[in-house]
Amino acid sequence: MSVLFFDGCGEYYSTSQLVDVWTVFGAPTVTSTGGRNNGAYIHFPNGAFITKVLDINYQEVIVGFGLRSTAFAEGSDILGFFNGSTLMVSIEMTAAGGLKVMRGGSVEIGATVNALLQANAWHYIEVRLKVDNAPNGEIEIWIDGVQRLLDNAVDSLNGTDATFDALTFQEFIQPWDMDDVYVLDPNSGAASPHNTFLGDIQIDAVVPDGVGAHEEFDTAVGSVNHWQNVDEIPHTGDTDYNESPTVNDRDLFTFGDLPAISGGSTLLSVKATTLVRKIDAGLGQFRLVARPVATNRNGDTLTLSTEYRYHQHIWDLNPETSAAWTDALFNASEFGVEVL
Amino acid sequence: MALLFLDSCDHITTTAQADLKTSTGTLLDAFETSGGRFGGGAYRLDGSADSIIRGVSSHTTIVAGGAVKFVNPMDSMTLFDEIISFREAGVATHVTVGVDRGFIRAKRGVGNGTDLGASATRIIYDTLWHFIEAKVFLSDTVGTVEVHVDGVQVLNLTVQDTINGGGGIVDEILWGRLFNASDTRWDDLYIDDANILGDSRIDLLMPDGDGNYTELGTTFGSATHAFNVDEIGPDGDTTYNNGTAVNQRDTFTMGNLAAITSQVIHGIQQVTYGKHDGTATNHRSKLRISAVDYNGASLALASTYGYHLEIWDQDPNAGPGAWVESVINGMESGYEEL
């Protein structure tokens, strides 16, 4: 898997549920409209930050995100790559509308030219970082699909462990807005469909809108129409839900179509997300299922807590064709869950 | 193979009561009467030295488990914090299982001890209940550490040195907290001398009526014996039953278990709360199943109130054999003065 994580804020749309997706500190907010494509976005007021802890440690990743700010302040952090408590590398604004790269928060190791960022406008930032001593460290920044910084011989290592385990988006000095985040492993192998910058992307959320091939859960609380118990943004928890104690029970749903993008688009990856919990002690497991279009394709086994948590499975390729997704195939696909 | 300790965290209401059950003299903790994994109570650890400590008999193989929740955001920058420690009281901490930025990691010794190994991926998330179980075998050469999270094995270390000096035994378990997750909750704690039990819940049943025996006195409280011992959070000398002669017995009918679906009942633990009135006295727990009495071990009462525990891994009226829901719901529980 090459895409490790992405978030267009579309599946939760609310400040209170930001904690279901990110580790949250301070008081970041989520606004349901006004994002890059008039969807939801995250705002970082003074002292707010959110962290995505990676499943394993990485030496190199690519991170993309939309950025909008009313102004620019010298040295205002926006993204940090952490190894435990050690800040490896951070990306900061410059007062003149550029970005600079800091090692350990204090040593500048690279910068773009100024005046690339405009106030009150969305820009799409992509950062590739490989942490290592010179000449093996690498830093690369693209802004709005154009390369603006490349140094393949930089000292980007703070300390001795050339890995990082967490990405932190944060506000320091200058509040800003964020949308459409992705994290990608560029070293996931030649067979991986995505090993480099994705470019200026858009992340859309679609929700269930109809009955799929399987409707095997119970609907004790909510609508008799299974899909109507799982189509809320933001989610409503125990207000309505589908449930099943039976191994191999499945619920699959049809989904709304992707929005059309003028000039056409390439569908890079699909993430199925579900909010789920078990209701009693004991081993509880399930998997996400894609049905594109005739056969069920199963995701990994996922383990439940007794409290609601978002679980995801990313299909970079259409699992039925092992080729890139198309809008048409996605729109015709069903997604759902199966009890294990 | 036996359970050594169970704690539903549901039958006490104060830190002082919790201390009576779990402290070995150094416990610093707090107790919440709500917010447990399935409602009910939970331990809350939010001070820098807070922990739950339970002494047990000496073992070289031992299992400790419990449900834990890091209520506040788990600081990803926090390095290894001790979650379950296997200790030789006053001598050494042999093995510590901790959370290291979401990984499960085991060390010989405490936080600055020797790293034994870690889970392959991050599997601990903040703001969620996780059920964590760790089994340790102490050996200088062939020690083992096995950890399960939410019923799934995440760490299995073999051929390890798991003895950190001392006498090479474990007689004390410590459940700890994440230093930067300033509110860590524990619920459904257990200790076993052999087996990882899997994600388990511990249900509390309280007396709800008098049973076959009503032989102690009811000088202070209700004439119905059960009503003097049915408080969640015992009320001490306010209401109680008082024995005046050897072999006096009280047994009670108890509430029913919450529904059991596919779960296995691993055992029951009787908890009595008592003291003597100036003359050293022993008592024993008692089960009455299908009109047959079964007695626990003789337990000494002190001059101040204390909890006394009797564990029944199996139904003594079934051979002994496995417990089933209907037997537990139908039996009587009580005590006998010795």
Size of interface A-B (CB pairs under 8 A): 84
Burial zone of A14 (CB within 10 Å; 0-12 exposed, 13-18 middle, 19+ buried)? middle
Using left for φ > 0, alpha for ψ between -120 and 50, and beta otherwise, residue B253 falls in beta
Determine which of A18, A52, A53 to mutate to test the interface with B (most B C-beta atoms within 10 Å).
Answer: A53
Q: How far apart are CA B132 and CA B96, in angstroms?
A: 13
- DSSP H or E run through A327: helix A327-332
**Mean pLDDT, chain B, whole residue set:** 91
pLDDT value of residue B208: 97
pLDDT value of residue B25: 43
Query: Phi/psi at B147 (nearest 5 deg)?
Result: -130, 135
What percentage of chain B exceeds 90 in pLDDT? Answer: 72
Contacts of B155 (CB under 8 A, 6+ apart): B104, B106, B117, B118, B119, B145, B146, B147
Q: List the structure tokens of A146.
A: 């154009």
Model confidence over A239-297: pLDDT tens digits?
A: 999 999 999 999 999 999 998 887 788 999 999 999 999 999 999 999 999 999 899 99
**Side chain identity at B233, as an amino acid letter?**
G
**Per-residue confidence band for A162, with pLDDT thresholds at 50, 70 and 90:** very high
Burial zone of A1 (CB within 10 Å; 0-12 exposed, 13-18 middle, 19+ buried)? middle
Q: How far apart are CA A219 and CA A238, in angstroms?
A: 12
Mean pLDDT calculated for residue range B24-47: 78
CA nearest neighbour of B223 among B241, B205, B237: B241
Determine which of A303, A310, A311, A312 to mutate to test the interface with B (most B C-beta atoms within 10 Å).
Answer: A303
Mean pLDDT calculated for residue range A22-44: 90
Q: How far apart are CA B270 and CA B8, in angstroms?
A: 12
pTM value is: 0.89
ipTM score of the complex? 0.85
Among A59-68, A108-117, B5-14, B179-188, the minimum mean pLDDT is found in B179-188
Of B76, B121, B263, the CB nearest to A282: B263
pLDDT value of residue B24: 47
Model confidence over B52-90: pLDDT tens digits?
A: 899 999 999 999 999 999 887 765 445 678 899 999 999
Closest CA of chain A from B3, distance in Å:
18
Is B15 or B282 the better-scoring residue by pLDDT?
B282
* CA separation, residue A16 to residues A20, A47, A307, B281 (Å): 8, 18, 15, 56
**Per-residue confidence band for A122, with pLDDT thresholds at 50, 70 and 90:** very high
Model confidence over B111-155: pLDDT tens digits?
A: 889 999 999 988 988 888 999 999 999 999 999 999 999 999 999
What percentage of chain B exceeds 70 in pLDDT? Answer: 95
* Interface residues on B facing A, Cβ-Cβ cutoff 8 A: 37-38, 67, 69, 73-74, 76-79, 101-102, 120-122, 125-131, 149-152, 188, 198-201, 261-263
Model confidence over A197-223: pLDDT tens digits?
A: 999 999 999 999 999 999 999 998 999
* Segments of A71-163 assigned E as strands: 77-83, 86-93, 99-103, 107-111, 123-130, 137-143, 146-154
Q: How far apart are CA A239 and CA A221, in angstroms?
A: 7
Q: Does A161 touch chain B (CB under 8 A)?
A: no
Q: Hey, which residues 64-103 in chain A have their CB within 8 Å of chain B?
A: 82, 84-85
